[in-house]
Amino acid sequence: MLHRSLFLALLIAVQSVAHAAGPGREALDRFLDKLSTVQAKFEQTVLDTENATTGTMHGLFLLSRPGKFRWDYVSPHKQVILADGRDVWILDEELKQVTRHHERLALKGTPAAFLAMDVPVSKDFEIVEIGERLGMQWLELIPRDADSDLNRVLLAFVDDELRQMELNDKFGQVSRFRFFDMQRNVPIDPQLFVFEGHDDWDMLHGN
């Protein structure tokens, strides 16, 4: 009886540790709590399967919950990824091309789902605490969907502010984002999340 009681006590302790929120998860929860808008500059670096840099891009990230965001790439060439609450539009100025995706399908199982859509993180991801590294608190998110295009997502926080995000896809490519001058819950012009058509551009349809 004593051994059984000891085993149960240990099991409860292990379960408590497993479900306890660490500093990375707490930082994520505080970042998302009462979040309405975000505005930040970003740098995106893309690495190939050999871990070699294939490109570096800069721009402005805007978020308005629920369901709206905008990635404005300004260099090396202009491109906009715009979610208006119903569709996701990818506008490539160099190619004069617009691609339209249904937002619910496009964002499913991605960090955009919990950042923009207020979907619980644990719905689509297993959450793993990594701990402190380079002065930041890190989390690893592992997709629950075996068919996800992502293998894992890394998030890094400083003082409950999202500073870095890394997406590792199933093709071996890595996209690293660094965020600068982030402002939380500031007024953002709603018109920035409205798609304005381009009659002389090619229109493509995804998903």
- In 3-state terms the chain splits into helix, strand, coil percentages (rounded to 5) of 25, 50, 30
In a domain, 203, yes or no: no
Q: Compute CA 153 distance to the chain's CA centroid, rounded to the nearest angstrom.
A: 8
Q: Is the confidence at residue 205, as pLDDT, over 90?
A: no
188 against 52, higher pLDDT: 188
Contacts of 37 (CB under 8 A, 6+ apart): 62, 63, 64, 65, 184, 185, 186, 187, 188
In a domain, 133, yes or no: yes
Write down the residue that tokens 């955009």 correspond to: 112
Spatial distance between the Cα atoms of 67 and 114, rounded to a whole number of angstroms: 10
| Domain span including residue 35 | 23-195
With contact defined as beta carbons under 8 Å apart, do 131 and 111 qualify?
no
Spatial distance between the Cα atoms of 89 and 50, rounded to a whole number of angstroms: 31
1 against 16, higher pLDDT: 1
Beta-strand relationship, 161-169 and 150-158? antiparallel
In a domain, 128, yes or no: yes
In a domain, 207, yes or no: no
What total of structural domains would you count in the chain? 1
In a domain, 7, yes or no: no
Query: Across the chain, what does the average pLDDT equal?
Result: 87
In a domain, 90, yes or no: yes
Residue 12 confidence (pLDDT): 36
Spatial distance between the Cα atoms of 99 and 197, rounded to a whole number of angstroms: 11
The DSSP code for 60 is E
With contact defined as beta carbons under 8 Å apart, do 70 and 82 qualify?
yes
Half-sphere exposure of 71 (CA within 13 A, CB side): 19
Question: For residue 102, what is the domain's CATH number?
Answer: 2.50.20.10
Spatial distance between the Cα atoms of 194 and 83, rounded to a whole number of angstroms: 8
Residue-wise pLDDT for 87-123, tens only, equals: 999 999 889 999 999 998 888 888 988 899 878 899 8
In a domain, 6, yes or no: no
With contact defined as beta carbons under 8 Å apart, do 183 and 64 qualify?
no
Residue 16 confidence (pLDDT): 34
User: What residue type is assigned to position 82 of the chain?
Assistant: L
In a domain, 13, yes or no: no
Q: Is the confidence at residue 15, as pLDDT, over 60?
A: no
Q: Evaluate the CA torsion angle 24, 67, 42, 56 in order and state its sign.
A: positive
Residue 207 confidence (pLDDT): 66
Counting beta carbons within 10 angstroms of the beta carbon of residue 22, is it exposed (0 to 12), middle (13 to 18) or buried (19 or more)?
middle
Q: Is the confidence at residue 49, as pLDDT, over 60?
A: yes
